[in-house]
Each structure stands twice: as structure tokens, then as C-alpha cells.
Amino acid sequence: MKRVLVLTGGGDCPGLNAVIRAIVKRASQEKDWEVIGSMQGFNGVLNEPQEIKVLDDKAVRGIHFQGGTILESTNKGGPFAWPVKNKDGSWGSVDRSDELIKKLQLLGVEAVINIGGDGSQRISQALFEKGMNIIGVPKTIDNDVANTDSTFGFQTAVQIATDAVDKLVTTAASHNRVIILEAMGRDAGWIAMNAAVAGGAEVCLIPEIPYDPEKVNKHIESRFHKDRGFVNIVIAEGAHAKGESQSSVKSDEVGYAHRKLTGAAARLREELKAAGCQHDIRETVLGHLQRGGVPIAYDRVLATQFGVKAFELVKEEKYGHMVSYRHPYITSVPLKSAISKPNLVTPDTALIKTARGVGISFGD
Ligand code: F6P
């Protein structure tokens, strides 16, 4: 029996379970392959005792529409930066990648499928360079992984954000208010921009286009006649005014490499007031609601396509590649090219032109 190990790393995302299920279902059509799963990314292999489970048809039955991941996930540490406590009580990290490779050999693992975002795929590439037979599957609600048209989970997040805009529009209109919705999107404004267009927001602020609060305020005023009118703003969590940086706090979670983005909407409220906005302003932070729950049909289909393709890449021994959607094909790209740059909104992005075409202001 040949063994393929599957894991999910980084922030969770609707559709992860559909990928796992598709890998298992496709592998079960082969007589000589067994699928095993590592809990919490590579931690399941590195932890003592190990946390590995056999994934057969029974283990994945009916999980295609379940949110989260049956393998659990982590966005802390990893094999190259495993957190360790120093003698003085502070935290440092050690590289356990060689140990990981040995442990996988002892488990009889022929190949690894790593389902995760850009951080996870950087780990995939580094392990591939150390000789591991590894395939990447791109995952992120932010849609910021390059060299794939889309990632699963993104459309579900857009739907959740759009539902929120739809609700906020009616309350903003009833109270003649400015309502700010803070959506996820660390470096990429895809969720915010799609939700703004779908929900008919008046302003959309994204990390790629630093905004001018005066210009945002001017646009707000153009939507009010005296004190009657309303404005809905969608702001990505990573958006900031010109000359400012992202609104964030340092994380005190051990092994968490990022700063925690928080406060973009609240800061915008203050900036608008400083720019002279007299209208009532309220803000709503959508947060992890965008990451949880049932994936919409589109994401289940894409996730299933990614899972089947991932196993086929293993069969072809096309290691060092990441599954990629290039309409109308499900194909693959070298991991190296996938992690070379993020997929960000650029000035020539078609949807920016559409958004401006329907009068949405980006505050620039
Ligand atoms: O990368 C996806 C994402 O949802 C970002 O938009 C967000 O900043 C981050 O994850 C938050 O992750 P967590 O709170 O799980 O660490």
C-alpha cells in the first residue's frame, strides 16, 4: 500500500472538507493507495503521540457541505519555526523540518498534499526543496494566492459579506446614516470589492488603494441632501488612509507570525469625523463569520475539483506543483511561481472599472 498524507494549514476556509473528501474518494478508486490525515497541519506528525487518522470513504462521508476542517488547522509555527520556550521564559523557534521528513518516512508516506494559503505553500516549496514529494492545494477566503483564477471559500465569503451589506443598506436608509462594514482582506481587497459591487455600496476601501478621508467625505456629502440620505461603505480590514499603515495590534499568541488586523472601520469613523462628516456613523465588523459555515455550491464544486486533481498530480508524481484553476481547466503550476507574488487588486482589474462605472468611490 502506498500512503498519501493530507493536511490543512493556515486559517480555515469553507470547502476544506470537500477537498479532503474528493482526495479520499479519488484515491479509493486505486487499489494501492491509502489516505491518512495529519491533525492541525504538520503538528499531527511532529507531536508525540502523533495525531494521524486513516481517511477512508466512511471517514469523509457527507462532509462536503460542512464548514471548517475535520483535520483541524493552525496558523502558528510550522515545521520550520516550531515554537520553543527559552530558559528566560521568552519564546523562540526551532527548525524541525528534517525530523518531519524522517517521521514521514517511518510512517511510510510516499506523498503529501498540503491544503493551505500562501504561508502554507511557502512551507510546501521549502519541503519540496528538501526532497519531499509534495503537492499544494490553494486555500484562502482572501483570494490572494497567485496563479490560480480563484480559490475555494472566497465566493462563500463574498456571499456572507454581501448578505451583510444587504442588511446594512436597509438600516442605513431608515436612519439616514453612514454605515461602515469591515470585511476581511489582509492585503487584498477582493472580498470588499465584490461585496461592494454585489451589495450596491457607495464606497469601497481596499488595501491596494490608500484612501483620502476628505475625498471619502466629499462622496458621502454628494449622497446626502441636507440631512437626508445614506451611505454604505465596505472597507477591507487591511485598508488605510494615504500615509498611514494598517490598523493592527501585535499578537501575544505563541507562534503567530502576523500582526492582528483590527480597527479599520473604527479608525475610518474618526477620520471621517475629522474630515467634517456630521452624519451619524455606525460600524459593523464581520470578522470570522466570513470564514465559517456551509460553503456555497460554487466553492464545493471548486474544492471537489481541486481534491480530485491533487490526487491525480500525486499519481503523475508531479511533485512541487500546486493545483490551479485556469478557466476552463483545472491544471497545476509550480509551487515556486504560485508563491512568487500575491494576487492583489490592480488598477486594470476589470471589477475596479465596473465598480467605478457604477459610481463606487475608492476614496482616491
Ligand atoms: O488570511 C485569511 C484571513 O481571514 C485574513 O483575512 C485575516 O486577517 C486572517 O485570516 C485572520 O486570521 P486568524 O484570526 O484566524 O488568525
CATH code for position 210? 3.40.50.460
The pLDDT assigned to 311 comes to: 98
**Which residue's alpha carbon is at the smallest distance from atom 10 of ligand 1?**
11
Q: Residues 59, 75: one domain?
A: yes
Cα 11 to ligand 1 centroid, rounded to whole Å: 6
Q: Which of 292, 319, 353 is the last residue of a domain?
A: 292
Cβ neighbour number for residue 194 with a 10 Å cutoff: 23
**Which residue's alpha carbon is at the smallest distance from atom 11 of ligand 1?**
11
Q: Report if residue 327 sits inside a domain.
A: yes
Residue 199 corresponds to which cell in the numbers above?
Answer: 451589495
Q: Report if residue 272 sits inside a domain.
A: yes
The pLDDT assigned to 249 comes to: 95
Report pLDDT digits (tens) over 42-71. Answer: 999 999 999 999 999 999 999 999 999 999
By most ligand atoms within 8 Å of CB, the mutation choice from 69, 74, 75 for ligand 1 is 75
Cα 128 to ligand 1 centroid, rounded to whole Å: 26
Cα 41 to ligand 1 centroid, rounded to whole Å: 16
Beta bridge pairs of residue 294 = none
Q: Residues 214, 257: one domain?
A: yes
Amino acid identity at 149: D
> How much is the pTM?
0.96
Q: Residues 272, 322: one domain?
A: no
The pLDDT assigned to 258 comes to: 87
The pLDDT assigned to 260 comes to: 93
- The residues, ordered by sequence, that sit 6+ positions from 231 with a Cβ below 8 Å of its Cβ are 172, 177, 178, 179, 202, 203, 219, 220, 223, 224, 279
Q: Residues 81, 202: one domain?
A: no
Report pLDDT digits (tens) over 82-126. Answer: 999 999 999 999 999 999 999 999 999 999 999 999 999 999 999
Where in the sequence is the domain holding 265, given as residue range(s)? 157-292
pLDDT beyond 90 at 350: yes
- Exactly one of 12, 142, 144, 299 is catalytic; name it: 142
Four-point Cα dihedral 233, 239, 243, 249, nearest 10 = 120
Q: Report if residue 24 sits inside a domain.
A: yes
**142 among known catalytic residues:** yes
Share of the chain above pLDDT 90, in %: 97
Q: Residues 71, 109: one domain?
A: yes
Q: Report if residue 331 sits inside a domain.
A: yes
Residue of 292, 340, 344, 349 whose CA lies nearest to 118: 340
**Which ligand 1 atom sits nearest the alpha carbon of residue 258?**
16
Q: Determine the average pLDDT of the residues in 128-144.
A: 97
Q: Report if residue 353 sits inside a domain.
A: no
Q: Residues 205, 68: one domain?
A: no
Report pLDDT digits (tens) over 201-245. Answer: 999 999 999 999 999 999 999 999 988 999 999 999 999 999 999
Sheet-wide strand order for 203-205: 203-205, 231-236, 178-183, 281-285
- The single-letter DSSP state of residue 263 is -
**Which ligand 1 atom sits nearest the alpha carbon of residue 256?**
16
CA-angle at 113, arms to 107 and 119, nearest 5°: 115
By most ligand atoms within 8 Å of CB, the mutation choice from 73, 141, 184 for ligand 1 is 184
Q: Residues 99, 183: one domain?
A: no
Domains held by the chain: number: 2
